[in-house]
Homo-oligomer: A and B are copies of this chain.
């Protein structure tokens, strides 16, 4: 009945070929979101070398705040400059650049409109001991800086978790009302959690699920190990023979735990390591149906040309061009 059904598609004569079906399907999963928020998720998915594929590579740079500047940037001193990261994210064809308030402010005008931004809205530092963060930005900041999303860290096992989840609930509600998307960094940490447990597949899957329940549009977790941590969970995983042997299987289980793939999940690799390990990670994420990588130190702690080459290869893996 609708007139548009009769419309003949004309081959586009211009670069901007429009949102792909893959991306449209992903957007349809965000059922309760207004078009403004969907437009920002769309922007994240329609930018860079992976535009339109449903895969993402995000450059996050909050290590200066979290670990200190020398420890983060001395190995590649160009990286002391906030502009360096904006430029790296753009030139490498990343989907987005994520950073705390000050770093975004320091380049927001030069790079206005050049790449989707994620304002990391809570922060901690290495001089304190608490597994906690506090709010260091606002939704209003995200709007005035032209950001597509806010980013927020939760520590599901921490004694501060209940407070953290209350904070992100309020911030995310406000963000959604003005068309800003929410990215949750979910890290397993806390008194009941062993060092090994921080990467345990049951805990990582649980952390991803909690982020989804808190209303995240995009979830960031670490790549899980095959360790099982919570006794009650371990029992079920073994009884039900949930496949968690390979990294790809574990990624698949995390996706399943994130509303059966209805939420975007990107994986981080942690500390700097050799290139082959980075590619292996990306391959496992690709095979397991994950949505991509959020990769910081492994980028900016390498010389720019090396980082660009590495990101190019990672994106090729997500494009299925990895032979």
Q: Give chain A's interface residues, CB within 8 Å of chain B.
A: 1-4, 6-10, 12-16, 18-19, 27, 29-43, 46-49, 51, 64-65, 67-71, 74-75, 77-84, 87, 90-91, 93, 100-114, 123-130, 132-138, 140-141, 143-147, 156-159, 161-163, 165-166, 169-170, 173, 177-179, 188, 190-193, 202-203, 205-206, 209-210, 212-216, 230, 232-233, 236-237, 240, 242, 253, 256-257, 259-263, 304-305, 308, 312, 315
Contact = CB atoms under 8 A, between A and B. Distances in A.
A260 B127 contact: no
A3 B202 contact: no
Contact of A135 (B108, B124, B166): B166
Contacts of A166: 134-136
A262 B81 contact: yes
B70 A161 contact: no
Contacts of A93: 12-14, 16
Given A78-B4, A144-B34, A128 B158 contact: yes
A79 B202 contact: no
Contact of A68 (B74, B162, B209, B216): B209
Contacts of A101: 169, 213-215
Given A80-B3, A83-B3, A113-B41, A123 B190 contact: no
B1 A304 contact: no
Contacts of A16: 47-49, 51, 90, 93
A71 B64 CA distance: 37
17 contacts: A2-B83, A2-B260, A3-B78, A32-B35, A39-B146, A68-B209, A68-B230, A69-B206, A70-B205, A70-B242, A80-B259, A126-B232, A127-B156, A127-B192, A127-B230, A133-B162, A134-B163
Given A31-B35, A41-B113, A127-B206, A165 B312 contact: no
A179 B112 CA distance: 11
Contact of A14 (B49, B143, B177): B49
Nearest to A169: B136
A224 to B, nearest CB: 12
Q: A37, A70, A87, A143: which has the most chain B beta carbons within 10 Å?
A: A70
Contact of A34 (B32, B46, B128, B304): B32
A253 B70 contact: yes
A129 B34 contact: no
